Structures are given as C-alpha cells and as structure tokens.
Amino acid sequence: MVAVITLTTDFGLRDTYVAEMKAAILSITPGVCLVDLTHEVLPHDITEGALALEAAAPFFPQGTIHVAVVDPEVGTARRGIALASGGHVFIAPDNGLLTPFLARDGWRAWELRAAEYRLPEVSRTFHGRDIFAPAAAHVARGVELHRLGPAVRDPVRLAWPGTHHVRGGLAGAVLHVDRFGNLVTSIDADAVESLGPRVTIRIAGRSLPLVGTYADLPPGRAGALLGSRNRLEVAVREGSAAAQLRARRGTPVVVSRTTSSTKGRARKKS
C-alpha cells in the first residue's frame, strides 16, 4: 500500500516553501501519496492549524502521516515531535498544534532529535523542509517512531475554550471563523443534542434558532446548526455571521433549552 503524507501549513502557495517540503520528502521516499490539507492557515495561527487537522485527519486511512507546520518559534528551543494517536502519525513543532489528538487515550510521542532523519544541513528558519518533512519521509519508509528520538510525556497543549454547563444549557465560545464567515464554536454537537430538540443559541446579544442546514434559513438570516466538524456553528445564509454579528474568536456562545410556546399561557375561561 502506498504511504500517504498530508501537509498543513501557513505558508500559502505564492512562494516555494511547500514545493521544497515535497522535494525533501520525495528525495527520500519517491512514490508516496502527498495530499495538501491546507496551506492557507492564517500566518502564525496555531489554533487555526490545530482545528484544520482536527477536521480533516480522521477521514484519512489508518497509518497516514500528517505533517503540520505553523511555527512562529522556529529556530528556538521548542521541540519538534512525532505523535502516534488514533492510528495516525503527526509530525509537527511542539507548540500546541497537535492538541486535538492529545485528548485521546493511548497516544505516544517522541522528540525529533536523531540527526540521521534530517537533511544534512538544517536551516534555523525552515524546519518544515529540513526536519519535519524528512522525518515523515523516513517514517513512510518504515522507520519506527522511537528511533526519531527520546519519548515525550509533556507535549504542549493549547488552552482553548471548552464547554461548560450553565443553568438550563451550555456555554462556550467561538473558536474559528471560516472563509464564509461561519463561526465554529467550542460546543460539541453531542452536547447540544443532549439538551433535546428545542434549543436557542445566544451570541452577541442575539437569540438564534437551531436549524438543520444553511438553506433552512431565509437569505441573509442568521441561525445555528451542527456542522460537519461536529461542532455547533453560527451562520448567515449567503452571508457572513462574523460580519453581521460582529463576532470573532473568543465571542461567548450560550445554548439554552427552549420552553414550550404554550407554557405559562393563561387558561381560557369557559
């Protein structure tokens, strides 16, 4: 079976950085299947990179190797790591980029320290090409992860918002704004469904309905839905929820049970 290696970066495609990483991989392991997850992560935005990996990685076959480089501290003492989690391998700087995959039981990690699995010359400013890509290529050739370096038991985790219970519902926050202006929140779909079929979402001073899909809303209207990333999302049909609601990462979101429309009505006298 051909090895699959994915690439996720904030490099964009204007420059040759992505091509140089691919060249490093192919020079070591020709014939691998290279897949670009995205190279449009906002520059230096580790949280956005982590969310991109969380969304896409589970759909790849077991044994896929994911290389992720969003690395504002390149060239410093920050570690590079290889992480085995959920049947996949992740190779990245140890800066929180792999946070979603540390929530699972049974993960193991190693520092990328062995010189024989790097390029002969390592630039202080391009570890994606010189350290991470070669490590992935060698793993694709069959090198066992423990040969890359010593075990790591304390990988860095992002302190991003979670979900907590409030009276009658759940509270969280916006984690990510996608290119359509949809607001991806920290609230899991399962948590929303546990509240029952009738809920209201409050964000930025507005109360919004929960709908099944974008087209259930009239054009230009805002609502919430359970998105493909299994997170609660706030959207505006054919528009930008971020712009209309003036919301961004960190904006609070509350999901509350909706009481029956007939509850509390006075009984009609006979």
Domain boundaries, the chain: 4-152, 164-257
Mean pLDDT of 261-267: 42
How much of the chain exceeds pLDDT 90, in percent?
90
* Alpha-carbon span 74 to 76, nearest angstrom: 6
Can you name the CATH fold of 4-152? Rossmann fold (3.40.50)
pLDDT, tens digit, for every residue of 100-152?
999 889 999 999 999 999 999 999 999 999 999 999 999 999 999 999 999 99
Answer whether 93's CB lies under 8 Å from 78's CB: yes
Q: What pLDDT shows up at residue 29? A: 97
pLDDT, tens digit, for every residue of 49-103?
999 999 999 999 999 999 999 999 999 999 999 999 999 999 999 999 999 999 8
Q: Which tokens hold the place of 29?
A: 């392991």
* Alpha-carbon span 213 to 229, nearest angstrom: 13
Alpha helices in the chain (DSSP H): 17-28, 46-56, 127, 133-140, 189-193, 241-245
Can you name the CATH fold of 164-257? Elongation Factor Tu (Ef-tu); domain 3 (2.40.30)
Please report, in angstroms and rounded to a whole number, the separation of the first and last CA atoms in the chain.
Answer: 77
Per DSSP, 250 falls in state: T
